[in-house]
Structure 1
Amino acid sequence: MSKDEIIASVTERLRETPTGDLFRCSTAWFMAPVAEDDLPAKPEARYDSALTPEGHEGHRSGETDPAAWARLNELRDRLKAEAHIVTRNLVETLRAWYPSADALEMYENEDGWLLTVRLVSADGRTVRDLRNDVGLPTDLPELPEPVRALWPKRMLQEVEDLDELLTVLAKAGVGFDDLPDELRDNNDCPDLYIPALLLGTACELGC
């Protein structure tokens, strides 16, 4: 199976997820190298063998595979590792866009989506308000040359693209930090977990 076929297949499977068409294609694009390494020469045969009596020996319909759990765990670990690489790419991109920002503040809505709130500086100042429900501009800056090669074309153009990316990363196993007290708004509850992607030199993820 070629990489183009893998991308098309992953994109089709992602149509059932609550993401935009552009981001489905982008997700398939960066997942393709992982999938390409693990797929056999005829991946359809492995899938169909679990459903039809004509499957290969040891993989006939109704039979179990003791190695399946190990393979699933391996794929999960590899997906999480790839997601951390994409997260580091995002950190570099945000640093290039907003050099004075120290963290990206987010919140999780009732549907489990991570939505951006603002980029905040080390002294707690709002560098950019990213809420897309208050009538603010939603365009993201053009990707500068050093980080342009990290992303597919037409990706990360709107704040909504950033929201979708963060949600996919979280579902792939990336854990985000709690926004430090010194970066919080005065109205924030001090005991409330506020997910954040830290961009400064002291950050744990992405550095």
Structure 2
Amino acid sequence: MTLLKFPWLTEDPFDPGAPEKSLAQRVREEVMRMILFGEIHQGERLSEPEISKRLGVSRVPVREALRSLEPTGLVTTKLNSGVFVRKVTPDEMRELYEMRALLDAHAVRMSCELPDAERLPLIAKLKEQMEAMDAAEKAGNTLLYYQENLAFHWETIKVCRNRKFMETYQLITQQLHLCRATNLSDGKSRSASYQEHQALFNAIGQQDTVAAEQAAYNHANRALKRLVNPA
């Protein structure tokens, strides 16, 4: 069973210490992976017996895992019908990306304005993420690329030191998970995404707030276009 490391989705972003995960938590993360990468489609019912058989576990941890998924924004429960993968409409997608652009732009501006004692360690961390994203992109590893992509953005979000800001970003990101990972499965989209992150990284490194904010808006807007009008 694959154990994922998705910021905002599998961990409390405000608690760096994570205890060993229970079977139900591991089932939860595997179901997330199945949803995020299109093995279970939007609008599809999550069948306890099928998931139980596929993962080789009893239905008890599966039931617990499905109950715990609803707050992530990935699923919805319908009375007397069961748990379904949530559908994201084009209008909702546009609204979410507009909000994400605003939040990311603020985060990168704050990153540019950090004193060197804080900005330089951030740059070093972002460089590690860029190198990992580059390796994943070249290897065609969508899962790893997506994880490092999320981690890159989370490093800038943490700079804001604003719990409500972080919680809002977490909520929006969770709702966008349904479409982002599938989009990044395409090599051309991953390559474009990497170049956009490079622009963000360069602007933060140069403390160019205008370029950083513009790069954040460009990244969000282009990501939305890739989803709505895939090449």
Give the alignment's TM-score, normalised by structure 2: 0.30
Higher relative contact order (CA 8 A, sep 6+): 2
More strand per residue: 1 or 2? 1
